[in-house]
Chain A
Amino acid sequence: MSIWFGQHRAALVDAVRRLASSPLNSALSLLVIGIALALPAAGWLAIDNLRAAVGNVAQIQQISVFLTTDASARDIADIEKRLRSSGIGRFRFVPRDEALKHLQAREGMADLVAGLPRNPLPDAFVVDAENATPVALEEAARTFADWPKVEHVQLDSAWVRRFDAFLRIARLAVGLLGALFAAGLAAITFNTIRLQILAHAAEIEVARLIGAGDDFVRRPFQYYGALQGMLGGLLAVGMVAGGGALLAGPAGELATLYGGSFALRGPSPLEIGALAGGGALLGWLGAQVSVALHLRRFG
C-alpha cells in the first residue's frame, strides 16, 4: 500500500517536473486547452445568466383576463373566487375606470380618450403566475377563457415559448460545442503525450530493460495528461471569470435600464470543480490512448 502510494506520488512528481521542464510548450498547450474549455463554459454560463435575467422580467409570466363589458359586481366576485381557488399566483383586479386613466396618462392618448363618448375598456384581472411553465400557463389561460363573462384572455405565451425554444437550442449548441472541444482536448493531450514519449524514449527503453513494468512507464504520462487537463480547466475558469468581471458592469447598467436589478453570475464552485475534473478526466483519457498506442514499440 505504501509502495503503491509512493509510486503514484513519484509519478506525479515526475509529471510536474516534465510539465515544468518545458514551460513554453506547457504554457501553449494549457492555453489551447483553456480556450477549448472556456468557450463551452462561457456559453453555459451565458445561457444560465440569460435565463436568470429574463426570469426577473415578470411580465412574461402575466395573464390578463378581460371581462365582458356587461359583467356585474357579482360576476367579478365569482371570477375572483375562481382565481383564488386556482392557486395560480397573485392577481389584481383592474377596474375599467382605472384602465382608462392609465390610457389617458399615456402620451398623446389624452385627447383621444377625451373624445370618446364613453369608456370602451372592460374590467380586467391581471394574474402574476408563479413558477409556471409555458405549457401550464397556456392551459390556465384556456381554463380562464371558458369561465362565464370572460371575453378574452391574453397571455404573452408566444414570447415565452420562443424564448424557451431558444434556450433549448442554445443549450444543445453549447452541449455540442462542449463535446467537440472535449474531443479536441483529448486529441491535444494525445499528441502532447506522443511528443513526451518521444522525448523520453531513452529513459523508457532503459527502464524497460532493467525491469520496469507497464504501470511504471505509463503512470507519469497519465498524470501528465490529467494534470495538464486539470490546469487547462482551471485556466478556463480564470478566463470565464475574467470575462464575467469585465461584463458585470455593463450588464448591471443594462438591467437598470430595463428597470430590473441583475448581477451577472460567475462560475460556481461546482462548475469550477466540473471544469477542473472534466479537464483532468479528458487529459487522462487522451494520455491513456496515446500511451497504449505509442508505448507498444518499447515492447
Chain B
Amino acid sequence: MITASAVCKRYAEGREALKDVSFDIADGDFAYITGRSGAGKTTLFRLFAAIERPSSGGIVVNGQNLAALGRKAVPYLRRNIGLVFQDQKLLFDRNALANVLLPLSIVGLPAREAERRALAALDKVGLLDRAKAMPVALSGGEQQRLAIARAVVNRPSLLLADEPTANLDTDSATDILGIFRAFHQVGVTVVVATHDPQALADVKPRVLRLDSGRLLSDSPLGAAPPSAGGLATGGAAR
C-alpha cells in the first residue's frame, strides 16, 4: 500500500526534513508515526499525497510510483487517499455538510447521492445533528471529527491523519481514535501521526518513530518485518 525506500526530503532552504527513510505499510495495516515536533511527520504525509516530491528515494502509494507520477494523475491519487490535515483545512464559509460534500462534488457524484453519503459520513463521526452548523460553531473535537468525515466520505482505501488528537482532552481523543479503529476494522489502511501517549499505549500498535528526519525504530504489529535501511543504513543511500 505504502512503500518508502531511502526517501530524502530537503526543502528549498536546504533544511533536511527526511533522511533516508524506508518502510512498508501493508494493505489493512494500522500504523502510528511518532516523533517530536519537527521530526518530519507532516513532511512524510505530504510526500504520500504528492503534495511534495521527495528529493531522492522512491515512494509507492496504492501501487503508483510517485516519482513517475504525472501532474494530471495527482488528483486521482489524492481522491483515493483520505487526508486529515494537521491544521484541518476546513472551509469556514460553509456549514459542516457542505464541507463534507466538497470531495463528492470533485468526483462528480449526483447531488442526491452525495448528500446521502455526506450525511452518512457525518453520522459515522457523530456529527449528524451538527450538519447545518458552521465550522466556527463547532468545538475543537467536533472540527476534528468534521475533518475526518470529509476525509472518509469518498471511501478511500488509505486514511492519513496528521495529529488528529492534538489539543483535545483525553475523552475526545479516545473518541477520535475509536473512529480510526472502526475504519481500520472495515479494511481501511490507517496511518496516524501523533505524539499522543494515549494513542501509543494502544494494544500492540505498530509505531514508526521519527527523529530529526530519521526513522529511529519501527515496531511492527504481527508478521511484517522491519524494512531494511531505516536505522542501519541511515544516510548511506546518499
Contact = CB atoms under 8 A, between A and B. Distances in A.
Interface in B55-94: 72, 75-79, 83, 85, 89, 91-93
Contacts of B151: 210
A3 B109 CA distance: 7
B106 interface: yes
B108 A211 contact: no
B105 interface: yes
A104 B58 CA distance: 109
B110 A207 contact: no
Interface size bucket, B side?
Answer: 20 to 34
B103 interface: yes
A203 interface: yes
A209 B83 contact: yes
Nearest to B110: A6
Given A6-B108, A6-B110, A211 B103 contact: yes
B214 interface: no
Contacts of B105: 7, 10, 216
Nearest to A206: B89
Contacts of B9: none
A75 interface: no
B145 interface: no
Q: Which of A2, A4, A213: most chain B CB closer than 10 A?
A: A213
A212 interface: yes
B49 interface: yes
Contact of A211 (B76, B85, B91, B111): B76
Given A205-B89, A206-B102, A211 B78 contact: yes
Interface in A160-213: 202-203, 205-213
Contacts of B89: 202, 205-206, 209
Given A6-B108, A7-B108, A207 B102 contact: yes
B191 to A, nearest CB: 16
A209 B106 contact: no
A231 B84 CA distance: 41
Contacts of A216: 105-106
B206 interface: no
Contacts of B72: 213
B91 A202 contact: yes
Which size bracket describes the interface of A in this complex?
A: 10 to 19
Contacts of A209: 49, 51, 78, 83, 85, 89
A6 B108 CA distance: 7
B106 A210 contact: yes
A181 B233 CA distance: 67
Nearest to B49: A209
A143 B150 CA distance: 87
Contacts of B103: 210-211
Nearest to A13: B111
A15 to B, nearest CB: 14
A213 B105 CA distance: 12
A216 B105 CA distance: 9
Contacts of A2: 110
Interface string B119-152: 0000000000000000000000000000000110
Nearest to B94: A203
A210 B102 contact: yes
A195 to B, nearest CB: 16
A216 B151 CA distance: 18
A4 B93 CA distance: 26
Contacts of A205: 89
Contacts of A206: 89, 91, 102
Given A210-B103, A211-B75, A203 B108 contact: no
Given A3-B108, A6-B108, A216-B106, A210 B78 contact: yes
A216 to B, nearest CB: 6
Interface string A1-22: 0111011001000000000000
A210 B150 contact: yes
A207 B79 CA distance: 10
A209 B87 CA distance: 13
B97 to A, nearest CB: 15
17 contacts: A3-B108, A4-B108, A6-B111, A10-B108, A202-B93, A203-B91, A206-B91, A207-B102, A208-B75, A209-B49, A210-B83, A210-B103, A210-B151, A211-B76, A211-B77, A211-B103, A216-B106
Interface of A: 2-4, 6-7, 10, 202-203, 205-213, 216
Which 5 A-B pairs have CB atoms at the shortest separation, nearest pair first? A211-B79, A211-B78, A3-B108, A213-B75, A7-B108
Given A210-B102, A211-B106, 15 more contacts: A2-B110, A4-B108, A6-B108, A202-B91, A202-B92, A205-B89, A206-B91, A209-B49, A209-B78, A210-B103, A211-B75, A211-B76, A211-B77, A212-B106, A213-B75
